[in-house]
A and B are shown apart, each in its own frame.
Chain A
Amino acid sequence: MRLVNENTRSRIRKVVVYAIYIFLLSSLQVSFPDSFSFLGQVADLTFVFVVLSGYFNGFWDGALVGFICGLVRDVFSPPAVIGLDGEVRVTAFIGAFTLFSAGIIGASFFTRRMHRNIPFSIVAVIFTTFCYKIAGYLLIYGWSILAGSYTSIYSPLTALLYSFLPQLLLNTVTAIPMIVLIRFLGPVSFKKTKQDDEILENKGGGTWLGI
């Protein structure tokens, strides 16, 4: 007689493996950022992990893993923002907001229609990184104008050369080992996600935002 049924076992596996990856990757990123940096940018291990969790394991996995990774980021290295009064303050929940959004976007594009195709997961990482950079850049631009802090603004060319391109390159390279980890040593077995996809496919229709 089995003490734990198949469903409970897969749930336990999911929670344990996610917990290990979340704390391991978050810790690695803030402990040894120089080991993953290029042209002043750091490979965003947790960001890539969140996007791929969403892409391979679905909306709720992406959202929840993104939310938890974001909270951890808010503790380990929160952003300091120049307030409207000119004082610089440490903020909370921006990490959670960012990575929660990344998990959702990762789960919404190139997923079912592409049958969670592995090469397209790299496209999902590139696309989400691009969205993150554009959104961050616009948000900082708007906030800087509002706060009257012009040291935060940089030209589009600098943003492209020193922010967008190195970050895209680093995240793309990081995605390759991360795909192997999630697919073959991941929280959900590859077979199970394939089965889920087939069930959804048979029901017909794509997802909202599905490409």
Chain B
Amino acid sequence: MGMIIQGVTGDWEVVIGLEVHAQVSSNAKLFSGSATEYGAEQNTQVSFVDAAMPGMLPVINTAAVEQAVKTGLGLKAKINNFSVFDRKNYFYADLPQGYQISQFLQPIVGEGILTIDLKDGVTREIGITRLHLEQDAGKSIHDQHPSMTLVDLNRSGVALMEIVSEPDMRSPEEAAAYVKKLRSILRYLGTCDGNMDEGSMRADVNVSVRRPGDDLGTRCEMKNLNSVRFIQQAIVYEANRQVDILEEGGKIDQETRLYDSVKGETRSMRSKEEAHDYRYFPDPDLLPLQFDDAFVAKIKADLPELPDEKKDRFMNTLGISAYDAGVLVAEKEVADFFEDVAKGRDAKLSVNWVTGEFFGNLKRTGKTIATSPVSADALGEVIDLIKDGTISNRIAKEVFEEMFDTGKSASNIVEEKGLKQVSDTGAIEAAIDDVIAANPDKLAEYRGGKDKLLGFFMGQVMKNTGGKANPGVVNKLLKPKLDG
């Protein structure tokens, strides 16, 4: 569903395109042999190439090329066996070369498709315009010195993939779904860790508005948004700002704007406008990037199962709903965990336990799948115990909570606490007799036509047996006794 802003003069449609910068997962940088790991001491992961010392020459990292091709394949995109690196010229303190090595006219990856997942299992295809390789810049720190800006070049020269979408999105929700899906695919592929907190993934958001059906309006770009929430907030603010201007007869200036997440507004960045004359030209230090079809085929052969394919398989072979399948495949770790639990077990019951109790207890204890005290096998045992009637679903939930807190196995807890479900008819009949004997007035009411009291007796019997009575057996035995 597109977002429509109802103005005084009529409806406005919002049009969104995204440029996502994703840091390539690699040991070394795009054109040098220095390390890429996050969080190192300042300027310790910098080579003379990254610092742009005179005479240093860039040599491309094989892994960066492979990761870009792999990502292109994951986006069902055209792979260009011939691409060219260009210099994008601008001056900034954290860009020692005075230019960024990027790809302009001939990128390594061309048009592709990304399918986004919306509410109620609805999907939409968003066009990918291109993906190109480029260098990251260094980092400027403005608040640690009273009069100076401090520059750390550890990030300088790290390989980035810039992934550009078509202006195909029509609402903040679609933009959010796009970023989430792209992040998921990158993580499945292992080409980017998708860690937005550490800046491994950041987005430039292009927003324009128009009358439904009209040509595209003039857009504004908001740079460097590093959370899905900020992306959505920035779009809402910016779209409304543009509608207000247009409705008052004004016109939109194409410009770069800064989103201030504290104030929740976008501001013009006029100071940078002049710098937008990038004067691209082919980098004379680098020959064109070329590879043959066999290089691409080899990467293709090693592609993992991606979220869309996994979702289809969960739906078609395991009979899981589109919604549940979507939840399970979004994170690879969750999908893997689920598959371990569901192996040889009831798929539906496994889904309910993974997305219900398991997620609930992770949240309660502040743990993640990686640090969870309960393994997939341990959860599987709980499901087995429910299936073979050893414990009821209700008891299972208690047992599971204790498993999280103590790390013990389900069978141990059941054994220690004597939680084994009672299915023995003799014991259950005795419990029913006790309850009936203790509540003669309620029995009389029931026999007088108050059918609803069946639930009361059921509850009392369960309470009487410490919740261990098999509810199915109680149900079967209780009614005849009440009816006399």
Does A pair with B?
A: no
Interface residues of A (CB under 8 A from B): none
Interface residues of B (CB under 8 A from A): none
